[in-house]
Chains A and B, each alone.
Chain A
Amino acid sequence: MPEPTEPQHWQSFKAGNADAFEYLYRSYAAGLYNYGSKFSKDKDLIKECIQDLFVGIWTRRSTLGNPDHLKNYLYKSFRHLLFKKAFQLQNFEVYEEETDNYSFQVSLNVEEAIIDGEHRSKVTEQLNLAMSKLTARQREAVFLRFYEQLSYEEIAEVMDISVKASYKIMARALGFLKENLSKDDLMLLSLLLHLKLLN
């Protein structure tokens, strides 16, 4: 018997199959944790949100639809839970996102084998310095595009913004990185980041 596809797992999960539920959890737990860790260093908070997310979808499974992209759906719900918890809002209040009123910390590195010693640490340092000058929202968009390889449409969904806004955020972020990195061979990295994100 062929391995069930994710939509098939989703259907079994909605029908109350515990194995399918575990499959979904195992598929996304590490990714969600990694994503969540960029918002907060409070590991327990992130774990709690993962827990609440899965307990929540299990409880509501009969009323859930069939999301086109399960990953987006889970990331989006997870992000929402995280914000709600982090801002300690009461359950029934709808979180209204204020511009960049949150943190999103990423750190980039270049593998040792590629660039050696001093040069490597210089490259890494400058790249991270440039990244740190972006807004949280821009960093998050870059992360979702570059690391999670989401499309602009998907980024818009997860971050709860318009598709147009997701293009705009990214263009600003990349423009900034390019400008700030263009003076030495860091341009290589900025351009590669740029292209990797755009194609």
Chain B
Amino acid sequence: MKKQISAYETYTLAELINDQDFLLWVLHPDEKSDLHWQNIENDYPQLKDPIHQAKAIVLTMRFEKDDLEKKEQDEIWNTIQAKTTLLTTPVRKLWYRYAAAAVLAGALLGIGILYQNNQPIAIKTPYGQLKTITLPDGSLVTLNANSKIKYDKDWNKNEIREVWIEGEAFLKVKHLHTSGKIADRERFVVHTGDVNVEVLGTSFNVNDRRGRTEVALLEGKISLGLNGATGKPLILSPGDIAEFDHGKLIKKPINVAEYASWKDGRLYFKAVPLAKIFNYVEDIYGYKVVVDDPEILKKTISGSLSTQNEQVLFKALGMTLNLNITPNQDTKELMITTK
């Protein structure tokens, strides 16, 4: 209900701002209210200034804006485009291909796999950082640096538990099988580039780098099959390591502690050639190793080293082997020279 025009005759700036009609007009002007306030201004010229001031105050009370520059907006868009192009075609297909591979592996391992449209979760660790992840069934995965795990967000009660791993991970799988026939939900399958690892409940280490897959078993029993291949799966017992290299799975006994020690921030070596250690340093810390004399690579090392801190690790390695190890943070090169 609008007041009579005459009611405004003696209004001050403050009273105007306090006036509901005035505010409504300023914030939501329409023809009718425009005319109303024009009339007030005409009839009471002394109100002209206060009205303009009040209007300006109302309209200019602003929250400060954090601007996204055009350039930044474009940058974000480019990333989105890059990511969505990947997601729409290749990665999507890749995911289906994984599912297809899993079906093939299913034939191999005698598993039926139901592919469900369930949001996959992907977790990636940066160089130099480990991460422990609890899977939907309560199983634990320690992901080594520069590694990736992918799995479905929800695990259906009647389906096989499945994860996809790139890089290196230590898994402690929750044992669900009690007795009798093994149900699908009690199975747990780890897929790597080339190998499928099937377990019930156990602790093991998977390393899938540089085109090779190594699976080291600490407890329990696991069976390994090749992606897209038929044939008898390889059965591992504790203390065994299976290595997949150049299209073949080979089993050999190892000192298992060596293989999974990274998860506790230490590395154990027993006559391990330096070439292997340097591969590890490249994978985990993201350096490119440069040696001045290839003979260095043939040296072997035994013992244990802390990997909590790369600087400490390099120092310890250098002292043990009598080498200078100098990281270059700009080029991400690790220079190894003989003393």
**B76 and A108 form a contact (CB under 8 A):** no
> Is the CB–CB distance between B68 and A192 below 8 Å?
no
**A115 to B27 CA separation, bound complex (whole angstroms):** 20
Chain B proximity mask over A53-71: 1 for CB below 8 Å, otherwise 0: 0110011100100000000
B58, B63, B84, B136: which has the most chain A beta carbons within 10 Å?
B63
B338 close to A (CB within 8 Å): no
Known: A188-B18, A196-B23. A47 touches B121 (CB 8 A): no
From 30 to 64 in chain A, residues with beta carbon under 8 angstroms from any chain B beta carbon are 30, 33-34, 37-38, 47, 50-51, 54-55, 58-60, 63
Q: Are A22 and B67 in contact (CB under 8 A)?
A: no
Per the bound structure, the CA–CA distance linking A109 and B64 in Å amounts to 7
Asked if A161 CB lies within 8 Å of chain B CBs, one says: no
> Would you call B254 an interface residue if the criterion is a C-beta within 8 Å of the partner chain's C-beta atoms?
no
A100 within 8 A of B: no
Closest chain-B Cβ to A62's Cβ sits at a distance in Å of 9
Whether B64 pairs with A107 at a CB distance below 8 angstroms is: yes
* B329 contacts chain A at the CB level, 8 A cutoff: no
Q: In the assembled complex, how far is the CB of residue A24 from the closest CB belonging to chain B, in whole angstroms?
A: 11
Interface string of A1-38 (1 = CB under 8 A from B): 00000000000000010000110011001100110011
Residues of A within 8 A of B23 (CB): 192, 195-196, 199
Q: Does B96 contact A (CB under 8 A)?
A: no
Does B67 lie within 8 Å of A58, measured CB to CB? no
Tell me the minimal C-beta distance from A90 to chain B in angstroms: 7
Asked if B84 contacts A59 (CB within 8 A), the reply is yes
Q: Which of A55, A109, A189 contacts B83 (CB 8 A)?
A: A55
| Cβ of A6 to closest chain B Cβ, rounded Å | 18
Please give the distance in Å from B284's CB to the nearest CB on chain A. 22
Chain B residues lying within 8 Å of A147, measured Cβ to Cβ, are 63
Find B80's partner among A38, A51, A110, A114 (CB 8 Å cutoff): A51
Interface presence of B7 (CB below 8 A): no
Q: Which residues does chain B contribute within 8 Å of A50, judged by CB atoms?
A: 76
Number of interface residues of A (CB under 8 A): 45
Q: Are B57 and A115 in contact (CB under 8 A)?
A: yes
B31-44 CB contact bits vs A (8 Å, 1 = yes)? 00000000000000
A92 interfacial by beta-carbon distance below 8 Å: yes
Do residues B66 and A37 form an inter-chain contact, with CB atoms below 8 A? yes
- Asked if B3 is an interface residue, CB under 8 A from chain A, the answer is no
Provide the residues of chain B in CB contact with A189, threshold 8 Å: 57, 61
Contact indicator B17/A192 (Cβ below 8 Å): yes
Say whether B72 contacts A47, CB under 8 Å: yes
Chain A residue at minimal CB-CB distance from B91: A59
Chain B residues near A169: list those with CB within 8 A: none
Q: Assess A25 versus B60: contact at CB under 8 Å? Given A30-B68, A59-B87.
A: no
Q: How far is the CB of B3 from chain A (nearest CB, A)?
A: 16
The answer to the question of B77 belonging to the interface, with a C-beta cut-off of 8 Å to chain A, is yes
> A130 an interface residue at 8 Å Cβ cutoff?
no
Q: When the two chains form their complex, are residues B80 and A34 in contact, meaning their CB atoms are under 8 A apart?
A: no
Indicate whether B20 reaches chain A with its CB closer than 8 angstroms. yes
The reply on A111 being an interface residue by CB < 8 A is: yes
B84 to A, closest residue via Cβ: A58
Distance, CA A195 to CA B22, complexed state (A): 11
**Additional A-B contact list (10), CB under 8 Å, known A37-B66, A115-B57, A187-B14:** A16-B88, A29-B76, A30-B68, A34-B66, A38-B66, A59-B87, A90-B133, A185-B14, A189-B57, A192-B23
Seen from chain B, the residues whose Cβ lies within 8 Å of a Cβ on chain A are 13-14, 17-18, 20, 23-24, 27-28, 53, 56-58, 60-68, 72-73, 75-77, 79-80, 83-84, 87-88, 117, 119, 121, 123, 133-134, 136, 153
Give chain A's interface residues, CB within 8 Å of chain B.
16, 21-22, 25-26, 29-30, 33-34, 37-38, 47, 50-51, 54-55, 58-60, 63, 90-92, 106-111, 113-115, 143, 146-147, 185, 187-189, 191-193, 195-196, 199
18 contacts between A and B (CB under 8 A): A16-B88, A25-B80, A29-B68, A34-B68, A47-B75, A90-B133, A90-B134, A92-B121, A111-B60, A111-B62, A114-B60, A187-B14, A188-B17, A189-B61, A192-B17, A192-B23, A196-B58, A199-B24
